[in-house]
Amino acid sequence: MYSKTDSDSDSDYFDCLPDALLLLIFNKLQDSKSLTKCLLVSKRFSSLVPLTNTIFISIPPLSKPNPVSFLRLLLHNLFLKPLKCFNQIMAPNPATTMSFDTSYCQPNGVLKNFKEISSLHLELPSHGSSNSGASFLKWKAEFGTNLKTCIILGATSFQKSNKFSSSLQQKVEECREQILTDDELKLRVIWTISCLIAASTRHYLFKQILADHSIPMVQKVEISDANKQGKFYMGKEGLVEMKNSMNSEQERLVESSSEEAAAMVRTPIPELSMKLWYLPKLELPESGYEMTGATLVLIKPVDGMVDQKRNINGDLMVGSWDFEGDCKEFSEAVREMIKVKKSYLMTMSSF
């Protein structure tokens, strides 16, 4: 029978693991707080942790802001500017705007500890509900230098269903002839604008991070929020585009006035072409949910919509546009929505 000896109790079993296996463990760990603590464990850990290539950083919420000033600033930046209406009513103080901005652009100096990041995921704090009048709203946007594609899925209600119709296809055929009223269409335009501004703000945030930190090996970037409402995504091709444009962008910012730089909180959105599907009621038998006022919007820059019919199925592939891996009902909703033959085509000016 084996008996434990003093030498066994004193041994460090991590020392028996090869470096490659430890790096695999660190990459599975991902969480930046835990990895930063690992830096202090030993000299060996301190030399291996910076080689981790998959990092998740959760940015903590700010200390509680003044509700009046916060709402005033939020309303101005997210709604008044893009709509170009009443843009002189609530102009914020430039210093306040800069303070609001930079609080989101500092991942607590964590990135300086990691030199070989290939996959970076940032999670922003959430400040209450931001559904813009929708009880359910999700989006995912892909960027390069500018917006490439954005998909939005929304509904006025989203809940478990007690009973499904015997024929889902029959239900779709019954609903497809019903059209959006003007008020319903306006509400969905507001959803779209709020999602686009959130996405372009995250794009500008990452440009600031990329300017402050050298991340030469990064090939994938995601920026989500604690509520898991929206996801900003950049792949290898988009990152190459952004890096190639950084020098000219930096020169333009240096030449701009300080007031103009302080007012910039997001990347401008180009002229857009949108395709919208709508169903008054959508039943999802696989996941057991039902949606009221179900709306799916596919958005691309006008230059990217040259051959929309050919590209539409590819853009809405479930694997490519899976909102969250553990929420299959969202992917099911996308699959069912694009079966609807009636759709709306719209354009939106740059803002």
pLDDT mean over 281-308 = 82
Question: What local confidence, expressed as pLDDT, does residue 245 receive?
Answer: 82
Question: What local confidence, expressed as pLDDT, does residue 97 receive?
Answer: 32
Over its C-alpha atoms, the chain yields an Rg (Å, rounded) of 24
How far is C-alpha 206 from the chain's CA centre?
A: 11
Domain spans, the chain: 53-348
Whether the predicted pLDDT of 311 surpasses 70: no
pLDDT mean over 176-199 = 86
**Residue 151, CA atoms < 13 Å, CB-side half-sphere:** 23
Q: Of 19-23, 91-95, 202-206, 266-270, which range is least confident?
A: 91-95
Identify the residue with better confidence: 175 or 227. 227
Token pair belonging to 205: 């945030």
Q: How many CB atoms lie within 10 A of CB 114?
A: 22
Q: Which residues contact 152 (CB under 8 A, 6 or more apart)?
A: 137, 138, 139, 191, 192, 195, 295, 296, 297, 299
Dmax of the chain from CA atoms?
84
pLDDT mean over 209-220 = 86
d(CA 224, CA 230): 6
Give the end-to-end CA distance of the chain in Å, rounded to a whole number: 76
Query: For the segment 253-282, what is each residue's pLDDT rounded down to a tens digit?
Result: 555 554 454 456 788 999 999 999 999 999
Query: For the segment 89-147, what is each residue's pLDDT rounded down to a tens digit?
Result: 333 333 333 333 333 445 657 888 888 899 999 999 876 554 555 578 999 999 999 99
3-state secondary structure the chain: CCCCCHHHHHCCHHHHCCHHHHHHHHHHHCEHHHHHHHCCCCHHHHHHHHHCCEEEEECCCCCCCCHHHHHHHHHHHHHHHHHCCCCCCCCCCHHHHHHHHHHHCCCCCHHHHCCCCCEEEEEECCCCCCCCCCCEEEEEEEECCCEEEEEEEEECEEEECCCCCCCHHHHHHHHCCCCCCHHHHHHHHHHHHHHHHHHHHHHHHHHHHHHHCCCCCCCEEEEEECCCCEEEEECHHHHHHHHHHHHHHHHHHHHCCHHHHHHCCCCCCCCEEEEEEEEEEEEECCCCEEEEEEEEEEEEEHHHHCCHHHHHHHHCCCCCCCCCCCCHHHHHHHHHHCCCCCCEEEEECCC
Question: How high is the mean pLDDT of the chain?
Answer: 75
